[in-house]
Structure 1
Amino acid sequence: MLAGLIFATEDAGDRAGTLAATLPFGGMTLLEYQARLLIGAGAGHILVAVTRVTPALLGAVNRAAKRGVPVDIVRSAEEAAARAHPLAQFVVIADGLVTTDDVIDRMAHEGKDAILVTQEPAASLERIDARNCWAGVARMPAQRIKDIAAFPPDYDFQSTLLRAIVQAGAEQVMLSAAAVRAGHGVEREGAALASRSNAVLAALTERRTSWADRWVFTRIARWVLPKVVEKGVPGWLLMIGGAATGAGATALIASGFAWGVAVAIPGVAALATGAALSALRGEEKCALMQEALIGLIVGAVVGALGLMEMRADATLDGVILAMVTIAATAIAERSQAVIRRWWGSPAAYLLIVTPFAIADRASWGLAAIAIYAFVTLAAAVEARREKP
C-alpha cells in the first residue's frame, strides 16, 4: 500500500500567521497540489503533519479529501505512527515543496528507503552529507515513523524523520536538471511560489509533443495559463469556449466561408490551455476529454471543407481527401507509437490547411494534409512493427 506524508508546519515568509502550505498555487493551495501529486502516484491514504490547525488548512485538507482518498491531520510522530498502516510505503513531501508528477512517480516505486538529493542548495532543504542536500522528497516504510515516535515532542518531526531515513541506509536518488527547470524547489513566500507555479504550468504544456503544439499552441498556453490561474477561470469554461469556437468555425465553412477554418485556431488553443490546467489540478479525465475535443474539432473542420469543395466542384475529390486525413489520423492516434516531433497531428493539420483555405485553395490544403496524414500513419506503423 502506498501512502503519503505531507509536512505543513512552517509559516509563509511574507504573510504572518499564514501557513506556507495554504498559499495559493495553480488555482488551489500548495497543500492540495501536493496531495494531488500523491494521489496521482497511487497513494491510498495521506497524512498531513502540522503544529497548528488554521481555518485555511482545514479547508485545504477537506478539499483534498474530496478526491476520494482519506486525508488525516496529525500533530506528532506518535499520532502519525498510530494512524499509519503498518505495511504502508510512504512518500514524504517536505513543507513548502513544489515539484511535478514525474518526480513523485519516480519516488513512489516500491522498494527500500530512498531520498531525493541535489547538489544545488536553492532546490533543497538541508544538507545530508558533505556533497548532497535533501531535495524534499523521500520514500520509506511506516516503520520509520514508529522509530521516532518516542522522541521528545520538542524534536522537529520533519528533520528527525529525515535523519532516521538516512541512518537506515536510504538510497540517494539524484534530482534531474529537467525537474529543476520544471519548477522543483522549496518556497514559503507567495511571490516566489507564484513564479514556481508558472514554471510548473510551463512544464505541463510540454505534454503535447508535435511541432504544431510545441511552436504554436504550447507557446499560447504558456502565455495564457498564468493569467487564467490568476483570474480563477474554471477549466470547464475553457472547454466550452473551445468547443463553441470549433462549432462556429464548422458552421462558417458549411455556409460557404472557407476562411472560417481560421476561427478554429483560438478554439484549439483554448482546449490545449484547458488540458494543461486540468492536468495541473489532477483532472486527467477532463484533460483527455479536451485533447479528444481537439481531434473532433479538426475532424469536423476538415470534413466541412471537403463537403464545401464537393459542392463547389461537383466531384468527390474534397470528400475523399478529407476522409483519408481523418481515417489516417484516427488510426495513427490509436497505434500508441512514441510520437516524433515531425509527425502530423490534428493541430498541425489545422495550421497547414488554414492558409490554403483563406487563399480560396482549400482543395490544395486538403491534399497536403491528406499526404501528411498518410506519411505519419506509415511512420507510426513502422515504429510499432517488430524489428528483426
Structure 2
Amino acid sequence: MSFGAIISASRSSSDSTGTLRGNLHFAGQTLVEYQARQASLAGASEILIRVSSVTPGLSQAVDRLSADGIKVSLIRDMITLVRDAPRDRDMLLIGDGVLAAQSYLDALGQIDGNALLVSDDSRASAPFERIDAGQRWGGLARVTPDLLFGTLDMIGEWDLELTLVRAAVQANARRITAPQDDLLEGRVALIDGQQHADLVGQGVVARQPRAGTRTGGAEYYLLDPLAGLLAPVLMRTQVPAMQIRVAAMVAAAIGLVPIELGWPGVGLLLMVVALLLGLVADRLDELALRARSDGWVALVAPALALVGIGLVGDALPAFYLVLLLGLIMVADRWRRVTGTRPWMIFTPASAVILMLGAVLLGSIGQGLTLAMLCAIGSAGAIILRRLPE
C-alpha cells in the first residue's frame, strides 16, 4: 500500500542562533531535506513538511527536492494539512529533528496500519517523548487515514505530532522497538543542535555501505577507495558535490595544456586527479541520499581524459582507441555492463594510468597497442555477457 509522509520542522535548535532543527546542516544538506530523502527512499509518494514559518533554508530545500523528482510541499496550518493530506493512504510521521536509520523507515513503509517506533525507557532514550511507563516514542510513526483525520478533527491547537502519537498508542498501534545500542550509536537520535548533528552525521557516513553500482577498472580498485576516504572529510566541511564535479572538469581541462606543451606525464597525472574528484562527487551524492548524476555533467571529466589520451598518442589508432573507450565509458556509467566483472571493464582511469606508465617508460606506441587490445577485450566481454544464452 502506498503512503505519504509528514515531517515536522518547526522547533528551534538549542544553538544560540536559534536555527530551526530542520535547517541544521546534515550530510551535505539540511536535516529536513535528508529526512525527506529518507522518506522517499522508503516509498513515500508525497511529503508534507509541517512548518511554523517559511524560511529561505526550507524553501531552498523544497526546490532541491523537487528538482530531484520528490513531491514535497510546506504546510503552515491545519486547514492546509486537511486539504492536502491524502485520504486514501497511510502517512509516515517523522518527528522534529529525528534521525533514524533507513532500515526503520523501510520497516514502517512495509507495514499496513498504525505502527510506532519505540525504545525502552532509559538514559539513552531520555530526549524522546514518554508514551507509557516503560517506553518512549522513537520519533517515527505510521498512521492510517482514519486515525489521522479523526485526530485532526479533535485537535484544538497546532500540536499534531504528539497528539497523533498518543492517538496511535490508544489505538494499540504495532510497536517496533529500537535496541538501546541503536540509540547509543546514533542510529536513532533526536538532533537538537549543530554539534550533535555533526556527531550523528559522522556515524551515518561511517556505517553507509559501498554502493553496488560502482564502476569497474582502476576506478573500482584504486580511485574509489580513495574517494571513500576523501568524501566524508569534504562532507564535514560542507563542500557541495557539484563544486567537486566542477573542480574535476577544471583539472581535466588544465591537464590538456601540459600534454600540448610536450609534458604528457604531468597532464595524465592531472587527468587521474580529475577522475578521482569525479568519484568523490559521486560518493558525496550517495552519502546525501541523492541519485548519482549520470548526465553530461558527470561525463565531462572522463571525456576530457580520453581527449588527453588521444593527444598523447597523436595518431589515428589513438583516435580509434578514444572512440572505443568512450563507448565503454558510457555503457559503464549508464549501467549497461550488468554481469561484467569490474576487472573486465577498461575504464578511462585504467587507460590513463596505462598510458602514464607507457610515457614514463618511453613506450607510447606499445602503450597504445596494449590499451587498444584491452579496450577490445573489454568491449567483447561486455557484449558477450549481455547476449542471451
Task: Work out whether the TM-score is over 0.5.
Answer: yes
Pick the aligned partner of 2:196 from 181, 192, 199: 192
Whether contact under 8 Å (2:303, 2:326) holds in the other structure is no
CA 1:303–1:133 in 2, change beyond 3 Å: closer, same or farther?
A: farther
Deviations 1:277-319 (A, max 9, x none): 45566764756544333432333233333x33x3xxxxx5555
CA 1:221–1:29 in 2, change beyond 3 Å: closer, same or farther?
A: closer
User: Is it true that 1:257 corresponds to 2:257 in the alignment?
Assistant: no
**What does residue range 178-189 of structure 1 map to in structure 2 within 5 Å?**
185-189=189-193
Q: SS of the residue aligned with 2:88?
A: coil
Post-superposition offset of 1:169? 4.6
Aligned match of 2:235: 225
Separation in 1, partners of 2:305, 2:109: 38
Separation in 2, partners of 1:131, 1:363: 75
Separation in 2, partners of 1:110, 1:190: 33
Question: Aligned AA for 1:71?
Answer: S
Whether contact under 8 Å (2:13, 2:20) holds in the other structure is yes
CA 1:113–1:358 in 2, change beyond 3 Å: closer, same or farther?
A: farther
**What does residue range 1-388 of structure 1 map to in structure 2 within 5 Å?**
2-15=3-16, 17-38=18-39, 43=44, 45-49=46-50, 53=52, 58-66=55-63, 67-68=65-66, 69-74=71-76, 80-98=81-99, 108=109, 111-115=112-116, 125=128, 135-151=138-154, 157-165=160-168, 167=171, 169-170=173-174, 172=176, 185-200=189-204, 206-207=210-211, 209=214, 210-227=220-237, 229=238, 233=239, 235-259=241-265, 260-278=267-285, 284=291, 286=293, 288-305=295-312, 307-308=313-314, 310=315, 318-331=318-331, 333=333, 335-337=336-338, 340=341, 342-344=343-345, 345-367=347-369, 369-374=371-376, 376-377=378-379, 380-381=382-383, 384=386
Post-superposition offset of 1:87? 1.4
Whether contact under 8 Å (1:113, 1:140) holds in the other structure is yes
Whether contact under 8 Å (1:3, 1:89) holds in the other structure is yes
Aligned residues: 370
Whether contact under 8 Å (2:245, 2:298) holds in the other structure is no
Whether contact under 8 Å (2:121, 2:134) holds in the other structure is no
CA 1:28–1:116 in 2, change beyond 3 Å: closer, same or farther?
A: same
* Structure 1 unaligned spans of 5+: 311-315
Whether contact under 8 Å (1:90, 1:139) holds in the other structure is yes
CA 1:331–1:29 in 2, change beyond 3 Å: closer, same or farther?
A: closer
Question: Aligned AA for 1:48?
Answer: I
CA 1:365–1:182 in 2, change beyond 3 Å: closer, same or farther?
A: farther
Post-superposition offset of 1:215? 1.8
Instruction: State which drifts further: 257-266 or 288-297.
Output: 288-297
Report the aligned-residue RMSD: 4.6
Deviations 1:225-244 (A, max 9, x none): 322x1xxx555443332212
* Structure 2 unaligned spans of 5+: 215-219
Question: Aligned AA for 1:161?
Answer: L
Question: Aligned AA for 1:188?
Answer: D
Deviations 1:151-170 (A, max 9, x none): 56589643443354464654
Separation in 1, partners of 2:340, 2:98: 32
Q: SS of the residue aligned with 2:49?
A: strand
Separation in 1, partners of 2:106, 2:142: 11
TM-score (norm: length of structure 1):
0.72
Q: SS of the residue aligned with 2:92?
A: strand
Separation in 2, partners of 1:373, 1:182: 46
**Identity across matched positions, percent:** 20
Question: Aligned AA for 1:273?
Answer: V
Separation in 1, partners of 2:337, 2:50: 41
Question: Aligned AA for 1:35?
Answer: A
CA 1:269–1:118 in 2, change beyond 3 Å: closer, same or farther?
A: farther
Separation in 1, partners of 2:192, 2:342: 38
Whether contact under 8 Å (2:23, 2:58) holds in the other structure is no
Question: Aligned AA for 2:195?
Answer: A
Question: Aligned AA for 1:295?
Answer: P
Deviations 1:77-99 (A, max 9, x none): x8744541211432322221235
Separation in 2, partners of 1:222, 1:34: 19
Whether contact under 8 Å (1:276, 1:287) holds in the other structure is no
Q: SS of the residue aligned with 1:3?
A: strand
Post-superposition offset of 1:265? 2.1
CA 1:235–1:219 in 2, change beyond 3 Å: closer, same or farther?
A: closer
Separation in 1, partners of 2:32, 2:85: 19
Question: Aligned AA for 2:281?
Answer: G
Deviations 1:121-147 (A, max 9, x none): 869956889999765444443333123
Whether contact under 8 Å (1:44, 1:70) holds in the other structure is no
Separation in 1, partners of 2:33, 2:176: 27
Separation in 1, partners of 2:177, 2:115: 7
Separation in 1, partners of 2:164, 2:354: 56
